[in-house]
Amino acid sequence: MRTPGTRLGLRSMGSIVIARHIVYSVAKITRRKMGGLSAVMARMKRVYEHLAGGPLAFHGGSWRLPPPPAAELVIKPFLDLCGRCSTPAKPCKTNLISTP
Protein backbone atom coordinates (compact mmCIF):
# COMPACT_ATOMS: atom_id res chain seq x y z
CA MET A 1 0.00 0.00 0.00
CA ARG A 2 2.89 2.36 0.57
CA THR A 3 4.82 1.70 -2.62
CA PRO A 4 5.34 4.46 -5.20
CA GLY A 5 3.63 2.25 -7.79
CA THR A 6 0.52 1.97 -5.66
CA ARG A 7 0.34 5.72 -5.12
CA LEU A 8 0.79 6.30 -8.83
CA GLY A 9 -1.84 3.65 -9.57
CA LEU A 10 -4.39 5.30 -7.30
CA ARG A 11 -3.69 8.72 -8.79
CA SER A 12 -3.90 7.36 -12.30
CA MET A 13 -7.09 5.47 -11.59
CA GLY A 14 -8.74 8.56 -10.14
CA SER A 15 -7.78 10.71 -13.10
CA ILE A 16 -8.68 8.13 -15.73
CA VAL A 17 -12.01 7.11 -14.24
CA ILE A 18 -12.77 10.61 -12.94
CA ALA A 19 -14.05 9.05 -9.74
CA ARG A 20 -16.00 11.25 -7.36
CA HIS A 21 -14.78 9.12 -4.47
CA ILE A 22 -13.45 5.69 -3.50
CA VAL A 23 -15.56 3.36 -1.37
CA TYR A 24 -13.58 1.34 1.17
CA SER A 25 -14.08 -1.38 3.73
CA VAL A 26 -11.63 -3.40 5.79
CA ALA A 27 -11.36 -6.88 4.29
CA LYS A 28 -13.17 -9.74 5.97
CA ILE A 29 -11.89 -13.28 6.25
CA THR A 30 -14.62 -15.49 4.82
CA ARG A 31 -15.23 -19.22 4.50
CA ARG A 32 -16.55 -21.11 1.53
CA LYS A 33 -20.24 -21.98 1.80
CA MET A 34 -19.38 -25.67 1.77
CA GLY A 35 -16.13 -26.16 3.61
CA GLY A 36 -13.41 -24.36 5.44
CA LEU A 37 -11.07 -21.55 4.59
CA SER A 38 -9.26 -21.44 1.26
CA ALA A 39 -5.45 -21.40 1.47
CA VAL A 40 -5.40 -17.65 0.80
CA MET A 41 -8.02 -16.90 3.47
CA ALA A 42 -6.21 -19.13 5.99
CA ARG A 43 -3.00 -17.14 5.43
CA MET A 44 -4.87 -13.81 5.64
CA LYS A 45 -6.50 -14.95 8.88
CA ARG A 46 -3.04 -15.64 10.37
CA VAL A 47 -1.89 -12.17 9.27
CA TYR A 48 -4.97 -10.55 10.84
CA GLU A 49 -4.46 -12.51 14.06
CA HIS A 50 -0.85 -11.32 14.15
CA LEU A 51 -1.94 -7.70 13.61
CA ALA A 52 -4.68 -8.04 16.23
CA GLY A 53 -2.32 -9.62 18.74
CA GLY A 54 -4.63 -12.60 19.27
CA PRO A 55 -7.67 -14.46 17.98
CA LEU A 56 -10.22 -12.67 15.83
CA ALA A 57 -13.91 -12.39 16.68
CA PHE A 58 -16.20 -14.35 14.36
CA HIS A 59 -19.54 -12.74 13.54
CA GLY A 60 -21.77 -12.37 10.54
CA GLY A 61 -20.15 -15.38 8.89
CA SER A 62 -16.64 -13.92 8.82
CA TRP A 63 -13.64 -12.91 10.88
CA ARG A 64 -12.73 -9.24 11.01
CA LEU A 65 -9.77 -7.26 12.25
CA PRO A 66 -10.78 -5.53 15.52
CA PRO A 67 -11.52 -1.78 15.18
CA PRO A 68 -8.34 -0.37 16.86
CA PRO A 69 -5.77 -2.24 14.70
CA ALA A 70 -8.02 -1.92 11.63
CA ALA A 71 -8.13 1.86 12.07
CA GLU A 72 -4.41 2.22 12.77
CA LEU A 73 -2.96 -0.30 10.32
CA VAL A 74 -5.41 -0.30 7.42
CA ILE A 75 -7.86 2.59 7.37
CA LYS A 76 -5.58 5.47 8.45
CA PRO A 77 -2.80 4.68 5.93
CA PHE A 78 -5.41 4.26 3.18
CA LEU A 79 -7.12 7.57 4.02
CA ASP A 80 -3.72 9.31 4.17
CA LEU A 81 -2.95 7.97 0.70
CA CYS A 82 -6.32 9.14 -0.62
CA GLY A 83 -5.73 12.58 0.92
CA ARG A 84 -2.32 12.90 -0.73
CA CYS A 85 -3.93 12.00 -4.04
CA SER A 86 -6.86 14.39 -3.48
CA THR A 87 -9.30 11.50 -3.83
CA PRO A 88 -12.21 11.50 -1.37
CA ALA A 89 -12.92 8.17 0.38
CA LYS A 90 -16.17 7.00 1.97
CA PRO A 91 -16.75 3.98 4.20
CA CYS A 92 -18.89 1.35 2.49
CA LYS A 93 -21.95 1.81 4.73
CA THR A 94 -21.82 5.60 4.42
CA ASN A 95 -21.71 5.30 0.64
CA LEU A 96 -24.72 2.94 0.60
CA ILE A 97 -26.74 5.39 2.66
CA SER A 98 -25.72 8.50 0.70
CA THR A 99 -25.93 7.09 -2.87
CA PRO A 100 -29.15 8.10 -4.61
Distance CA 41, CA 28 (A): 9
Distance CA 15, CA 20 (A): 10
Q: pLDDT by residue (tens digit) across 7-48?
A: 555 555 555 566 678 888 887 898 888 888 889 999 999 999
- CB 30 within 8 Å of CB 61: yes
Please tell me the pTM assigned to this model.
Answer: 0.65
Q: pLDDT by residue (tens digit) across 62-74?
A: 898 898 999 998 8
